[in-house]
Amino acid sequence: MTLTELKTLVENFVESSETTFVASLNDFIKSAEDRIFELVQSDFFKKTVSGNVTTGNRFLTCPTDFVLSISLAVIDGNSDYHYLSKKHSSFMQEYSKDIADSSLRGLPKYYADYDKELSTAADDGSTLLVAPVPDTNYSVELTYLHKPNSLVTDTTGTWLSTNARNALLYGTLVEAYTFLKGDQDIMALYENRFMQEIERLKNRAEARGRRDEYRYDSLRSNVT
């Protein structure tokens, strides 16, 4: 589904092509995408990137589209992966009391969020903290949650508009009908359809997508 197709569907559903309403459609779509992103943790929103931590430097700059971390691994000289435990930044400060003491350096065991910043021309974005302070240069592998481009940006189609078409449609309708101050029964219908689609999407992304039938039997829904 393209941006134009979604806008046409919404206008047809609510039977409105009023100028201010049409001009606000991009904002309604973005709001619906934000709701889906917050409600469903899909593997489509997950990325893995490689990087490095250097001797004596306990900071790791995150990618510009970083939202939150899923895992961080340090790779030693034997190419062995060491997955770090995530801690609060206060624990890190207590663990590495003297960051200048080279005798306390070693293979990092822990990591934490140091700051959460939007990436801008003046700021590199979010930063992670590792402890102990690295005693040499290490390769790292960061898996993290990122926010994909909006359909407003990628107008020919996105993962959501292709694979979660109904969720995006009904989510946008909820925002649009709220703007129009529409009938509450219709509003409740749109919201109910949206939540049904979210349930299906979560079942696919967070249930079926994260288990196999070799170890677990098929998921079943009760039929009444």
Q: What is the pLDDT along the chain (224 residues), one digit of tens a residue?
A: 999 999 999 999 999 999 999 999 999 999 999 999 999 988 888 999 999 999 999 999 999 889 999 999 999 999 999 999 999 988 988 888 788 888 889 999 999 999 877 666 666 678 999 999 999 999 999 999 998 899 999 999 999 999 999 999 999 999 999 999 999 999 999 999 999 999 998 888 776 555 555 555 555 555 44
Answer yes or no: are the C-beta atoms of 126 and 117 closer than 8 Å. Answer: yes
pTM of the model: 0.79
Instruction: Say how far apart CA 28 and CA 85 lie, in whole Å.
Output: 39
Do 169 and 163 form a contact (C-beta atoms < 8 A)? no
| DSSP bridge pairs for 95 | none
The predicted pLDDT at position 85 comes to 95
